[in-house]
A and B are shown apart, each in its own frame.
Chain A
Amino acid sequence: MAETHAGPIAVTGNEAVAEAMRQINPDVVCAYPITPQTEVVQLYAQMVADGAVDTEFVTVESEHSAMSAAIGAAAGGARTMTATSSQGFALMWELLYVAASYRLPIVMTTVNRALSGPINIHCDHSDTMGGRDSGWLQIYGENHQQAYDNCLQSVRIAEHMDVRTPVMHMYDGYVISGAIGPLVILQDEKVRDFIGPFKAINPMLDVEHPVTVGPFDGLHGWYFEHKVAQNRAMDRSFKVIQDVADEFAEITGRHYGLLEPYRLDDAEIAIVVIGSTAGTTRMVVDKLRARGVKAGMVRVRVFRPFPHEAYAKALEHVKVVGVMDRADSFGAQGGPLFLEIRAALYDSDPRPQVLPFVYGLGGRDIFPDNIEQAFAVLEETARSGKRATSERRYLNLRKD
């Protein structure tokens, strides 16, 4: 895939990301194989073997070590990348916080997959939703092109001096990672110009000016202020993410925002959804619109930081919003996305109703019919003018 193509080519999601990584040509890649991310690591290993990149490629003995090694390399001053999924992501969890706290601009591809148990290798968003408070930026893609585009943009966002925070970008396991879809690849030089050189801040590489990274900050230290600084970087990253997306649009013609509304302007009911299911939802919206139903949709792109003001603005005119979560927060009022959307709309007046839907756990299929069922609930609630119960509605759940 080294040569560039004018038109779209057919690739798996993993091939799309491996290609992006080849073009980025990071200094260090540390990785451990896990289904369904494995292909990214294999393809990259071959690129290293073929001399297509001059990356230092470290095949570590676990994901915990993959993130540890990535942190070491990034602290040394290297542009560093890794990739993971599911249990591997869970095993990294301790180090996710460390990478974010040290403001190391690592970029990680995470292929969304369910967490055990029971053992399940299929797609849902439980893995990265569990890391939503780790201090990393989180960008979700819908399809192959977005997997590629988000990977490239993540490097710029993570390394921006207003952010300097690691970024994980996601796409759905199997549905995108293993299935074949269209991809338009940028020329290598365009990617190189877009990415630009990396300049590390206070790298440990500089042995003439030794620094300590990550020490105990004392019993009366600056931990609190440090955490506040991380959150301020999150606030600043909204603008950076948009600026990078706009610059990316100039060279590709592909436009991205913090969120992606669809037929929302005059919508009375709307669904908010993450990942590949957005494609199916868009189709259902069109079908409903053809019937005269004022349906709309928002696809979540950036989940951390969560652009709550943008969501309030986008959804405040909608009567009933259905939030589709492909992960659950056991014992909470709803899934993670539901909680965010509901909180974002709290200050709206009049306040739209927000109803929680859970779907697709452990790779359970989500059919257009299921999404229509969800819209039917929203439509009925809007028509009745009463407040519906906010209990979870499960889509395509088997009967006992």
Chain B
Amino acid sequence: MADVRKRQPKVCDYYTSEDGFSPGVAFCSGCVLELNLRFISRVLGPDIIFVGTPSCSAPVLHGQNTMAWHKHAYYACTMTGVASSATGLSRYYEKAGIDATVVCHTGDGCAQDVGFQTLSGAAERNEKMIYVCYDNEGYMNTGIQQSSATPFGASTSTTPTGRASKGKTTGSKNMPMVMAMHEIPYVATATLSHLEDYAKKLVKAKEAAKRGFVYLHVFAPCVPGWKIATDASIQVCRDAVKTNYFPLWEAEDGVFRITQKVKDVKPVEALTSTVGKFKHLKPEQVAILQGQVDQRFRMLQALCAGSAAVEAPAE
């Protein structure tokens, strides 16, 4: 407990503004998305413009009828045009000499699937913006369908388990790595159990966005979609990091670095056993998932070594 108390103020040190969101917003109990939005807003400050889509974050970012639920400028975009519309905004801000940061905030389905082309295009053009993808591993808002972020074996409403099916048959797209291969100024992964790590990355992101495109991939479990307890979402984030299922890393101008090195890596079962969408998995399926997790981590380590990064001390 003493440890926890010591860390809390450290996160607050990164806050640059009051909470930009009103209390009582309409998220599910235990949803990490609310924390994510408030956190981004408090660390990045008031001079940001959000661009988002119809999604879980929409009710809060959009407001309700004519009432706003936050104090930021916001463009409610189509899922297919986020990074492009943000390009139009950011280019004109720059031309008009306005010092403001455009922050795209979308789910994985938008970033990795239907909006991927515009994201990739904006990254290639090195547009000055921060793109935050909150990854809840599927289309949670529309009823828990699979996306290209849904992991191997997961049960969703379009990859349901049944007599002839054991969930999704392919792994997820390694999206943060895909974005790192765009060779943009800054790419990082983050999650809500490691807020200090996340805050540091947001600060770097805001600096890097003055030079070009920034991509942040945030692991964000969904309470009803993943069938976890309402008080378990942060623990699931932590488990994802501790199992190397979701390693925390950054690539700064092409230099890869693991920012939270895990000393005693737990088997991926420590995560899958607590998450309902994996509960049907047989040991041989867990082994396949474990193999994918290990392979990805080895590649990350190779990139870290190959790009001459200095790794952070063990947690």
Say yes or no for A80: interface residue by CB 8 A criterion: yes
- Please give me the residue from chain B that is nearest to A217 by CB atom: B65
A205-B81 in contact (CB<8A):
no
Check A61–B118 contact: CB distance below 8 A: yes
One digit per residue, 1 when the CB lies within 8 angstroms of any chain B CB and 0 when it does not, for chain A 71-113 equals 1111111101000000000000011001000000000000000
Residues of B within 8 A of A70 (CB): 88
Q: A215-B63, A216-B62 are in contact. Are A207 and B85 (CB under 8 A)?
A: no
In this complex, what residue of A is CB-closest to B75? A213
Residues of B within 8 A of A (CB): 47, 49, 51, 54, 58-59, 61-65, 68, 71-78, 80-96, 98, 100, 117-118, 120-121, 124-125
Q: When A62-B121, A210-B72, A215-B62 are in contact, do A204 and B77 touch as well, CB less than 8 Å? A: no
CB distance from B47 to the nearest CB of A (A): 6
A66 to B91, CA, bound (A): 13
Centre residue among A58, A69, A74 by max chain B CB count within 10 A: A69
- A288 close to B (CB within 8 Å): no
A153 contacts the other chain (CB 8 A): no
Q: How far is the CA of A221 from the CA of B62 in the complex (A)?
A: 13
Q: Which of A210-224 contact B (CB under 8 A)?
A: 210-218, 220-221
B77, B89, B94, B118: most-surrounded residue (chain A CB, <10 A): B89
A27 touches B84 (CB 8 A): no
A68 at the interface (CB under 8 A from B): yes
Q: Are A77 and B92 in contact (CB under 8 A)?
A: yes
Residues of A near any B CB (own CB < 8 A): 27-28, 30, 56, 58-62, 64-78, 80, 94-95, 98, 204-205, 207, 210-218, 220-221
Q: Is the CB of A212 within 8 A of B63?
A: yes
- Chain B residues lying within 8 Å of A220, measured Cβ to Cβ, are 65
Chain A residue numbers with a CB within 8 Å of B118 are 60-62, 64-65, 68
Could you say which of A64, A73, A204, A210 contacts B91, with CB atoms under 8 Å apart?
A73
Q: With A65-B84, A98-B78 known to touch, is A56 a contact of B49 (CB < 8 Å)?
A: no
Find chain A residues with CB under 8 A from B68 CB: 212
Q: Are B76 and A73 interface neighbours, CB within 8 A?
A: no
Hey, which chain A residues are within 8 Å of B71, CB to CB? 210
Partner of B93, one of A71, A205, A221: A205
**B115: shortest Cβ distance to chain A, in Å?**
10
A212's partner among B62, B95, B124 (CB-CB below 8 A) is B62
CB distance A75 to B76 under 8 Å? no
Contact B76 A213 (CB under 8 A): yes
Interchain Cβ contacts under 8 Å between A and B, 24 examples: A28-B91, A58-B87, A60-B118, A62-B117, A64-B80, A65-B83, A65-B117, A67-B81, A71-B81, A72-B87, A72-B92, A73-B88, A73-B89, A94-B80, A95-B78, A204-B89, A205-B98, A207-B47, A210-B71, A210-B72, A210-B74, A212-B75, A216-B59, A218-B65
